[in-house]
Chain A
């Protein structure tokens, strides 16, 4: 590669990274501006202020934000765990067994995944109210499963399909029951796949707004994205922009940490699913 070509690539790369990261930088910058500083006309705050963080973590908005954070973590982790467990069994069956309706299950999963949420959220709202699931953790975990299960099944079956049949047969000849072969040979081999799937499922649940805002009404189950929409300023004349920005930064942190920790596996998992799924 010539020097000029290289320079073009570098400039292009920097531009793209800047384009992608600028909104995040903006949010971070906003979160450090005090309410009076919000319209200072410059990108950086005139003075670094922790006011917004104080407000949402210990101040007036903490009653809204902290329970929401707890709900989000709890609901998303439970939904992810259930979805991974179910997807593991389903994907194993799809990858290993020949049964009628296999194609149907896979395509149904795909249909569910692409179905617009907005079209089912109203009936769900009514149903949940009638059977008492409205504004509860299970009331969100169940819809989140419908979001996370299809993609989990697809990615995991791609992973299972890559494990040679012989592994399992060898284990059976060596004296293992089907369950032992699954647990001691197949699951350890599929661990990277399970991991990737878990992370993807967690993100999907974590990012959901529509279910969160429609199926909850109090801090009993309201997740962070929904709570963010309900933030208000200290008085009705103060815009809550700063505190929303601070909350957005806080909910981004776990996602960033997860991605940094497992980025290799996610890339492998995503391309894996893309090519073989």
Chain B
């Protein structure tokens, strides 16, 4: 087990295009780090540079205190799970898992012991003699993980390991990976474009955009204190709504009425003419269902509902609004960059499932103005970010992780003492 440090890592391709541009990132020993971003942001390239399948143009890659820039993949002692699993089709499951051990010239009985142990953890025992072609997607995925955990690697690297599975299986495997990592306590770097995976698995998440790091923080901090428009728009589903706004004193004039800001935030946004207000869908509510006590902290407005989606446990309403052309163009660019295709400017609003708001009618909404963020449309910066609050969230998450890891390891050694295998499944 080891920490991974990246210092000013640059990857330039032959045509001079920087796929990864000046990335510095410290991954602590035992930490679960997620690299996330839209396609083409350089996250996979970065991962492949860690494992050594891609040359590093400049910068330092330090694993466990040792600079590994010039080491071949086999000398870095990392294990990796590929997107298509890359199982060896001509070998049985047993031999697939045993392959790294065979290459290390480990004696036969030791190989058998280790493979059996790994296959117990992953519940692959009855499939050991089968060929990968005869396995289901989820089983193949587990074999790939078995090959990764069978040897004592310094770190695990995952390259979008769940993207080939169907939605239900993906959910199961996600929790399985999380449990496995907690149990083994091994440094893990996980590349994904799926923000659910990013939010649920990561101790910290690194958001990349065009080869540059935007923000590295705990999922909570990313969600509550994003540094810029890009991170705010990328994290959260349905995504954050961005409304054009003009400041007037301590108020912001938006298509959905005025929003009152507190002193600190009002000061932060002063001096700008045109702003973007970022409001998450769940900060809205059907005005008729809001507690009288809560009402004063927000504002109410009337708007025409275009479409509603009732999902049983929740309900979304789509409210179109008008925006100046410059803002429209920018929002379109942003949505394109985030791999989505937003055709119209509309707010997605989460309302209570019991709400009787209907499509095509005017309705009264309430919006919680305490948590809105204000962005500078030019630079995309978050003007109202509370860095201290954000850092505190990440600090808490780190504390949680360390505590959790200690507990898990304690439990594990207890279990081993009692000679009962901890089942992950």
Contacts and interface: CB of A to CB of B under 8 A. Distances in A.
B72 interface: yes
Given A173-B79, A176-B103, A167 B88 contact: yes
Contacts of B100: 174-175
A169 interface: yes
B74 A170 contact: no
A112 B200 CA distance: 59
Contacts, number: 54
A185 B147 CA distance: 15
A203 B115 CA distance: 45
A167 B147 CA distance: 13
Contacts of A172: 52-53, 72-74
Interface residues of B, number: 23
B254 interface: no
Interface string B83-110: 1101011100000000110011000000
A166 B86 CA distance: 6
A164 B82 CA distance: 12
A177 B100 CA distance: 12
A32 B53 CA distance: 65
A171 interface: yes
A106 interface: no
Contacts of B79: 173-174
Contact of B99 (A164, A174, A189): A174
A176 B99 CA distance: 9
Interface in B359-403: none
Contact of A189 (B78, B89, B151): B89
Chain B residues touching A, majority SS: loop
Nearest to A176: B103
B214 to A, nearest CB: 28
B80 interface: yes
B88 A185 contact: yes
A170 B90 contact: no
Nearest to A167: B86
B357 interface: no
Contacts of A180: 103
A189 B133 CA distance: 13
B51 interface: yes
A164 B89 CA distance: 11
A216 to B, nearest CB: 42
Interface in A183-228: 185, 188-189
Interface in A147-189: 164, 166-167, 169-177, 180, 185, 188-189
A176 B86 contact: no
| Interface core residue of A173, A176, A188 (most chain B CB under 10 Å) | A173
A173 B99 CA distance: 11
B90 A169 contact: no
Range, interface on chain A: 10 to 19
Contacts of B89: 189
A174 B99 CA distance: 7
Nearest to B103: A175
Interface in B123-179: 147, 151
Interface string B69-81: 0001110011110
B53 A169 contact: yes
Contacts of B78: 173
A172 B72 CA distance: 8
B88 A173 contact: no
A166 B48 CA distance: 12
A38 B88 CA distance: 59
B200 to A, nearest CB: 26
Given A166-B82, A180-B103, A173 B90 contact: no
Given A164-B86, A185-B88, A188-B90, A173 B80 contact: yes
Contact of A173 (B51, B84, B104): B51
B294 to A, nearest CB: 53
Given A164-B84, A174-B147, A175-B103, A169 B74 contact: no
B415 to A, nearest CB: 28
B82 A177 contact: no
| Interface core residue of B83, B100, B104 (most chain A CB under 10 Å) | B100
Nearest to A178: B72
B93 to A, nearest CB: 15
Contacts of A176: 74, 103
A169 B103 contact: no
A174 B103 CA distance: 8
A189 B86 CA distance: 12
Interface in B30-86: 51-53, 72-74, 77-80, 82-84, 86
A170 B104 contact: no
Contacts of A167: 86, 88
A33 to B, nearest CB: 51
Contacts of A189: 88-90
B86 to A, nearest CB: 4
Contacts of A188: 90
Interface string A98-123: 00000000000000000000000000
B103 A173 contact: no
Contacts of A170: 80, 82, 86, 88, 147
Nearest to B77: A175
Interface string A118-134: 00000000000000000
The 10 A-B residue pairs with the shortest CB-CB distance, nearest first, are A166-B86, A170-B86, A174-B100, A175-B103, A172-B73, A175-B74, A188-B90, A173-B80, A166-B82, A173-B73
22 contacts: A166-B83, A167-B86, A167-B88, A169-B82, A169-B86, A170-B80, A170-B86, A170-B88, A170-B147, A171-B99, A172-B52, A172-B72, A172-B73, A173-B51, A173-B74, A174-B74, A174-B100, A174-B147, A175-B151, A177-B72, A177-B74, A188-B90
Given A173-B53, A174-B103, A188-B90, 5 more contacts: A170-B82, A172-B52, A172-B73, A172-B74, A173-B51
